[in-house]
Amino acid sequence: MEGGGIPPRTVEEVFRDFSGRRAGMLKALTEDVEDFYRKCDPEKENLCLYGYPDATWEVDLPAEEVPPELPEPALGINFARDGMERKDWLSLVAVHSDAWLLAVSFYYGARFDKNERKRLFHLINDLPTVFDMVTGKKQVKEMKPINSSANSKKTTGNKNATSSQKISGKRAAHVETKPPKQQKEEEPDEDDDDAGETVCGICAGPYGANEFWIGCDVCEKWFHGKCVKITPARAEHIKQYKCPTCSKRART
């Protein structure tokens, strides 16, 4: 179904391929939805929705060759067309479209190294899913990057800063901004350069520039988000954060 073009070879090329296919599928499920709905005739054989790199789409039978040139979209999307509510059917097709888009991108990216795959995923993950766009699901508003020097003053200048300051600062600029060093009442020894280095209150691991951190409002310790099972999206809805230890103390 691809026409034998040169496959994308870099992260940027794969992402452009993903973006074009995504745009085509979105067009089928939103702008051209009446045409798409009509073409998914339940009386026909297994049909698939294809998105192409040039932002076009097509409803067609699956490829005949085995294995196919690329992973195949969901088969038989037309069979459920008249057996479900229209919006539910479109949502289901959208979910399968998202799965196919990821499958194609990581099929092309199978030879990438770990960092390239991670970069590709982040580029893809910054876009709303086809499901989000079709259903109108509300997106979590992205925080604008905060100047690292200004954010540092905000978090280190006031030791009793609220969790909203800590969380939003770390969520918005966790790549650029380092958590405040642990403050000591007495000056550290001159030969102990690492005395004030921030470490995670769970795993004792040191600060990592590419990791999400969150600060406890009670004990004022800092934690890797993954260690306390807090994601940036979840942190957005927390007004006052208590770490697991402080939460346990509050219940006893």
Q: Are 49 and 73 in contact (CB under 8 A)?
A: yes
CATH number where 247 lies: 3.30.40.10
Q: Which 8-state DSSP code applies to residue 224?
A: E
pLDDT in tens, the chain (252 residues): 554 568 899 999 999 999 999 999 999 999 999 999 999 999 999 999 999 999 999 999 988 877 888 999 999 999 999 989 999 999 999 999 999 999 999 999 999 999 999 999 999 999 999 999 999 875 544 434 434 333 333 333 343 434 333 433 343 333 334 455 544 444 444 444 444 578 888 888 887 777 888 888 888 888 888 888 888 877 877 878 888 888 877 766
Q: Where are the alpha helices (DSSP H) in the chain?
A: 11-26, 33-39, 86-108, 114-125, 130-135, 148-157, 163-173, 232-235, 244-251
Last residue of a domain, one of 135, 157, 188: 135
Residue 67 domain-assigned? yes
Examine the domain organization and report whether 96 and 209 are in the same domain. Answer: no
Q: How big is the chain by its Cα radius of gyration, in Å? A: 24
Same structural domain, 22 and 112: yes
Whole-angstrom Cα distance, residue 40 to residue 35?
9
Domain extent, residue 228, equals 197-251
109 plus 222 within the same structural domain: no
Last residue of a domain, one of 119, 135, 151: 135
